[in-house]
Amino acid sequence: MKSVIAVVGSLLLVFGATLLACSRQSRLPDGQAGVAYVESEDGQLVVADDGPKAEGTPAPTAEEIKTIVGGDESWLTKFELTERSGKTVTSEQLKGQPYVVSFFFSLCPSICLRQNEKVQQLQEKFKNRPVRFVSISCDPEVDKPAVLSQYANKFGADKDQWMFLTGDLTYIRRVGAEMYFQPVAWRSHTEKFVLIDAAGNQVGYYTWTDPGQWQALQADLDRLLQSGGTFSAESQPAESPPAESPPADADPVE
């Protein structure tokens, strides 16, 4: 009998420890996406203070990305793609306001949906502020303007603030590699947002799945808007060690 009680007692201890561990896992309360929280012993949600304090990832050097897209053509310094409306959008037209770039494809069943939910959160947070969000398809054969228009509606994308672009795949790969330092291939992309200032300069690279970098993107974008769309030397984002420095051959997300 004593042995049975001992076994039951041990099982209860294991169950209790497991339950306690699960209750302290990081989770996000409604309306607080991007901020890591843990549940305290008294059941309150508090900001986690042991998570990464990362900021935007520095871009790879030109040497590091030469192998992303081959060829002897001149390095791209501007682009021209087709928006879901059917209108042509150029990188020159995007200047004048900061914007956030990401790559995706509409048939992606998981990562792209989560990524665009993050863009949706940015759109809601920065509603009526002079910033754009630019999502570029890496499956242009499928993602024609009509398809992108339907896809954009799923996220309540504002036609004036959130653009969905498509074009030729090889050209899009060059745009990703040569203009935004992102390895892009057919249905393959990174989990990164690229923040561009109003003058067309790259401000930072942010892995949206990393809570620290997700918070940093929002903070940097807010500071960028408060400073008029560009950073002066005195108002650059706060310095901290980069979270990562992805090489050109970093495994993309499919």
Predicted local distance difference test score (pLDDT) of residue 17 = 39
Q: Which helix (H) or strand (E) holds 204?
A: strand 202-207
Same domain? For 100 and 136 the reply is yes
Is 108 contained in some domain?
A: yes
Residue 87 sits in the same domain as residue 43: no
| pLDDT (tens place) for every residue of the chain, 254 residues total | 545 444 444 444 444 433 333 333 333 333 333 333 334 455 444 444 444 333 444 445 555 555 554 555 688 999 999 999 999 999 999 999 999 999 999 999 889 999 999 999 999 999 999 999 999 999 999 999 999 999 999 999 999 999 999 999 999 999 999 999 999 999 999 999 999 999 999 999 999 999 999 999 999 999 999 999 987 654 455 443 343 434 444 444 44
Sign of the four-CA dihedral 190, 192, 246, 81: positive
CATH number at residue 112: 3.40.30.10
Q: In 3-state terms, what secondary structure has residue 225?
A: helix
Residues 112 and 136 grouped into a single domain:
yes
Q: Is residue 252 part of a domain?
A: no
Q: Are 245 and 60 in contact (CB under 8 A)?
A: yes
Residue 55 lies in a domain: no
Claim to verify: residue 42 and residue 167 sit in the same structural domain = no
Task: Indicate if 206 and 87 belong to the same structural domain.
Answer: yes
Q: Are residues 79 and 37 in the same domain?
A: no
Residues 74 and 132 in one domain: yes
- The pTM for the full model equals 0.68
Q: What is the pLDDT of residue 26?
A: 30
Query: Distance (Å, rounded) from C-alpha 1 to C-alpha 27?
Result: 42
Number of domains, the chain: 2
77 in the same domain as 190: yes
**C-alpha angle 90-92-93 in degrees, rounded to nearest 5:** 70
Query: Could you give the C-alpha distances from 15 to 8, 19, 22, 24, 216, in angstroms and in order?
Result: 10, 6, 11, 15, 38
Q: Are strands 99-104 and 88-90 parallel, antiparallel or unpaired?
A: unpaired
242, part of any domain: no
Burial 200-210 (b: 16+ CB within 10 A, else e): bebbbbbbbeb
d(CA 131, CA 115): 18
- Whether residues 36 and 74 fall in one domain: no
Instruction: Identify whether 83 is part of a domain.
Output: yes
Q: Does residue 254 form part of some domain? A: no
Neighbours of 47 (CB within 10 A): 10
Domain limits for position 182: 62-235
For residues 68 and 189, membership in a common domain is answered with yes
Here the tokens at position 127 are 């509603």
**101 and 176 co-located in one domain:** yes
Same domain, 31 and 67: no
Taking Cα atoms as reference points, which of 144, 195, 191, 188 lies closest to residue 168?
Answer: 144
In a domain, 193, yes or no: yes
Say if 250 falls within a structural domain.
Answer: no
What's the confidence (pLDDT) of residue 108?
93
109 CA to centre of own chain: 17
